[in-house]
Amino acid sequence: MPWKAVSAMSLRLEFILLAQQSGANIRALCRRFGISAPTAYKWIERHRRDGPDALADRSRRPQESPGKTPRAMERAILRIRSHHVWGGRKIRQRLENLGYRDIPSPNTITAVCRRNGFPPEAPHRPQREFQRFEAPAPNLLWQMDFMGDFALHQGRCHTFTVLDDHSRFSLGLSACSDQQHETVKAHLTTIFRRYGLPQRILADNGGPWGSCGNDGYTKLAAWFFNLGISLSHSRVCHPQTVGKDERLHRTLRFELVSRRTFENIDDCQRHYNRWRTIYNCERPHEALQMAVPASRYHVSHREFPETLPPPEYGGNDLVRKVDPKGTISFRNLSFKIGRGFSGCFVALRPTTTDGLYNVFFCHQLIDHVDLTNKTPHNV
């Protein structure tokens, strides 16, 4: 019968001693011991060359593994993984961008990371079927939003983000102590000075940009209109409308915010600045076919005006000034336009409907007034 592992060495030694006897029939012994002739001669030769110790089982592992990832490549993979919470695809693309050759597959890279104690990146959430939209060029549409606030050692951080829809380029990543109008306007001014003005900005229905609610547009919206920027709002309770910015928030939380604590706003902003540079210039983006956002973005040709001239209206427009309460007087009647336009001049233009006038601020239609029922109606 074939040799069993528990008695292999003793059976091999017994076979060899019998085979060494004068007149021994090797093939007959092979049948008796249940082994093949090549196996028998292999053990006889080993015993002759190295003695009884050579009869122990040897590892079948090859001395060399041509398919094994070279150590230098492993070090390069682990160096990137130690700085970034990325998976195999992003690491492979980053290695390619750095000029490495003969880069292993994403699965091999993931295996190298796991073997060295690095867990894989966050699992992908199951995707629901929905219609994807992307602006056809940079600066046609920006998205802005606040990420959920979190505690610092000193105070809390409200993270304000601005993203270009086409390129996914992070235009602004600001650690703020509040979500007030003045704070947002100051950060947007810095962004506008550096990158120029977009055609349109998309935001949710939160403050301070707000939506067309009971009091109409906010002061921030009025500022946008004066700059020639259109403002759109997502549907209520539908954050997917600003989904690209929401996706950036999820990445930011996973790669940075959830992995450390921050002393204060300044400490948080320093880390945000470093992370934003990596996000824009180093981190491959799957939605961009593994390109980096900076490769698809260019600054806007529309310069930010440091001084805004008052809006100009046509000679046939009926111009009225909005009072501190957000109302105008027209034909001895008061109509509520919105506190966001307090102190500004608006223009009324008649429509084809008798008694109905459209209300414009700069080039933006913001409301209309109906003289027949004497009540304002927001558009």
How do residues 299-309 score in pLDDT, each as one tens digit? 999 999 999 88
Secondary structure (3-state) at 246: helix
What pLDDT is stored for residue 55 in this prediction?
Answer: 73
Phi, psi of 257 (to 5 degrees): -60, -40
pLDDT above 60: residue 34: yes
pLDDT above 70: residue 276: yes
Phi, psi of 335 (to 5 degrees): -130, 130
CA distance 321 to 96: 60
The lowest-confidence range among 44-53, 156-165, 286-295, 304-313 is 44-53
Secondary structure (3-state) at 182: helix
**What is the C-alpha radius of gyration for the chain, rounded to an integer number of angstroms?**
36
Architecture per CATH, domain 142-296, reads as 2-Layer Sandwich (3.30)
Mean pLDDT of the chain: 85
Tell me how far the alpha carbon of residue 253 is from its chain's centroid. 10
pTM for this model (two decimals): 0.74
Using pLDDT thresholds of 50, 70 and 90, give the confidence band for residue 6: very low
What pLDDT is stored for residue 375 in this prediction?
Answer: 52
pLDDT, tens digit, for every residue of 238-272?
Answer: 445 568 889 999 999 999 999 999 999 999 999 99
pLDDT, tens digit, for every residue of 209-228?
Answer: 765 455 668 899 999 999 99
What pLDDT is stored for residue 271 in this prediction?
Answer: 96
Cα atoms found within 13 Å of the Cα of residue 161, Cβ hemisphere only: 30
Using pLDDT thresholds of 50, 70 and 90, give the confidence band for residue 45: confident
For residue 157, give both structure tokens: 């951080």
E strand or H helix that includes residue 376: strand 375-378
- Across 38-48, average pLDDT: 85
What pLDDT is stored for residue 125 in this prediction?
Answer: 53
pLDDT above 60: residue 177: yes
Q: How far apart are the first and last CA of the chain?
A: 93
Length of the chain: 379
pLDDT above 90: residue 293: yes
Going from N- to C-terminal start, the domains of the chain cover: 5-55, 71-115, 142-296, 318-378
What pLDDT is stored for residue 12 in this prediction?
Answer: 80
